[in-house]
Structure 1
């Protein structure tokens, strides 16, 4: 009997392994990602070489400075292009799959607390929750009509324990009035700053009491990419 392939936790991978895994994942849907990375490196390296050639320095010293500058410019630009195209490819693969919104919310930085699938129904429509500077953000994922009462019920529950905290509602999807998957994390961060860091601990403690009465729900299984955290680390070169 064949053994199942071993899955490596992205957090335990080296930086090089994360790059390789992210590149392979992106290559499945973005066939030209390699050409984009190479092209951006060459163009930026040429610009960097010209710019650093203008700096004072003659002979081999000036040449070395120009080459180093070209490599720096080229590498930085290639990393930016790689990160953006890999992120776009990952969102394209996840879009429409159960749990995609929860995976996209992993792109949020420190200062945010994400709780996936705090509410659900039999049709696998789910509500995720994010707590951060804007307050409490309830994010629905699934059928819009079925999500409406689900979100309304969750909002009432949260208002009972955190009436003084702003509560926002979003629906992840591609229909009018919904937030596309690729813009979800950015939309959440643009909701403003209405809760001070000192209030966060109090809010989270109140929500623990609310969540204590919930039944646990594992996220629906599906081919959702698991390298989003590694990708976020790769994109720090931006």
Structure 2
């Protein structure tokens, strides 16, 4: 479950908005012209309304201008973030953690040393598995996780997706809209109960597949001592 957000001051909020503006402008060449249009068109209409009718249209026009800029910023920044996340390890989990709504995300419940990973998501649509990495390897990980989860999820729906650009895979930029379109099969109480069961199942993380790094191997003396007990 996403952590509760801390209160952000007005100055910090403005700084965040400024960072989003810079990031989006760098990623999206159409962002600056669209923002300019979102400012100029409402202001031009406001000036015309003030000249033709009354000054009362001035605050209304300013509000509409701010609203238009925020709409452009929201739409284009989301698209820019999706494009930037394409191909990055863990991008699917990061997107899910930033989505609005009650999405319980557990990144990398299963993984390999080659950066293949499967993320677990619990929400109103049911249980969702998101796989990132080499398609052949992650399909094996998906199969293992589906068999493991089938023992505890009962009748809850189970959805699985391989994130990627190939046929049969889900592009990361379409992840948000795809999951939001899934039918809501569980109530809030069902989600809480399912979350508790799966937390108990995933409390002990699995060892990544592949060779164990040297810094993770047990010391020889400790191994012999454990055998001697």
TM-score by length of 2: 0.79
Please name the residue that 2:175 is paired with: 184
Provide the C-alpha distance between the structure 2 equivalents of 1:59 and 1:34, rounded to a whole number of angstroms. 29
1:46 Cα deviation from its structure 2 partner: 3.3
Please name the residue that 1:98 is paired with: 89
Which consecutive aligned stretches of 4+ in structure 1 deviate over 4 angstroms post-superposition?
9-13, 47-50
Please name the residue that 1:129 is paired with: 120
Q: Can you give the 5+ residue segments of structure 2 that lack an aligned partner in the other structure? A: 209-229
User: Partner of 2:118: helix, strand, or coil?
Assistant: strand
1:10 Cα deviation from its structure 2 partner: 9.6
1:12 Cα deviation from its structure 2 partner: 5.3
Please name the residue that 1:39 is paired with: 37
1:173 and 1:179 in contact (8 A); partners too: yes
Residue 195 of structure 1 pairs with residue 180 of structure 2: no
Residue 68 of structure 1 pairs with residue 66 of structure 2: no
Higher Rg: 2
2:96 and 2:103 in contact (8 A); partners too: no
User: Partner of 1:127: helix, strand, or coil?
Assistant: strand
* C-alpha RMSD of matched pairs (Å): 2.5
TM-score by length of 1: 0.77
- Of stretches 134-143 and 206-215 in structure 1, the one that deviates more from structure 2 is 206-215
1:107 and 1:185 in contact (8 A); partners too: no
Number of equivalences:
202
Provide the C-alpha distance between the structure 1 equivalents of 2:110 and 2:206, rounded to a whole number of angstroms. 9
Please name the residue that 1:17 is paired with: 15
Q: Can you give the 5+ residue segments of structure 1 that lack an aligned partner in the other structure? A: 1-8, 218-238
Please name the residue that 2:223 is paired with: none
Provide the C-alpha distance between the structure 2 equivalents of 1:49 and 1:140, rounded to a whole number of angstroms. 53
Provide the C-alpha distance between the structure 2 equivalents of 1:20 and 1:203, rounded to a whole number of angstroms. 40
User: Partner of 1:46: helix, strand, or coil?
Assistant: helix
User: Partner of 1:185: helix, strand, or coil?
Assistant: helix
Provide the C-alpha distance between the structure 2 equivalents of 1:181 and 1:170, rounded to a whole number of angstroms. 10
